[in-house]
Amino acid sequence: MNYHREFEIAWQGLKTGLHEYQYHVDDQVLAHFGYEPADFEGLEVEVGLKFEKENNFFLLQFDVHGKADVTCDRCGDTFPLALWDEHKMVIKLTDTEEKAAALNKTEDGSVVYIPRSETVINIFEWVYEFIMLSFPIQRVHPNREDGTSGCNPEALKLLKEMSRPEHPEQAIWKDLEQFRNHSSDN
């Protein structure tokens, strides 16, 4: 399948108003565009796009919903992580490519400028970016219904054992106490 055309919006042929699009993104689509997921697999995401066309600008709202298999940061087991997020951006039209390029360097990322001569907008880069932003920084198994951790109990037991100090009576700063007392005498 040619995914490039699927993620293109020919905006000049659209009437003013709201237009809605639905995109399915999985590992195969990412591979087609040359992206290799480094820390997840089994990506299954639906991205809804509300594209509102006005005379000199477009309002875009991306809704990301899906899942991916990730490794738990706590126990190391793989689990399906629910993904969801919402992102908004504005595309403004300019007269020339040079003006669009200059404005894109100075503005923030939620406003993008394109020249009027560009009649097709490829949104895949934004779709990919918003999917990646929907991953949380810390990926930990969700708790079970009874409130206990969803992590591997064997791994949690091992982590607990490893976090206990071997010699609780020995404080790490114990030997430095002599220097504090010595300096106060001077």
Residue ranges per structural domain of the chain: 3-167
Instruction: With 0.75 as the threshold, say if the pTM is over it.
Output: yes
Confidence grade of residue 3 (pLDDT, cut at 50, 70, 90): low
DSSP 160: H
Distance (Å) of CA 109 to CA 3, 159, 166:
25, 41, 50
**Contact 53/16 with Cβ under 8 angstroms?**
yes
- Mean pLDDT is lowest, of 11-15, 55-59, 182-186, for 182-186
Run of H or E residues at 34: none
Using the predicted structure, report yes or no on whether residue 131 has a pLDDT greater than 70.
yes
Q: What's the rounded mean pLDDT across residues 35-47?
A: 88
Q: What is the pLDDT of residue 167?
A: 57
- Which tens digit of pLDDT belongs to each residue from 118-130? 889 999 999 999 9
Using the predicted structure, report yes or no on whether residue 85 has a pLDDT greater than 90.
yes
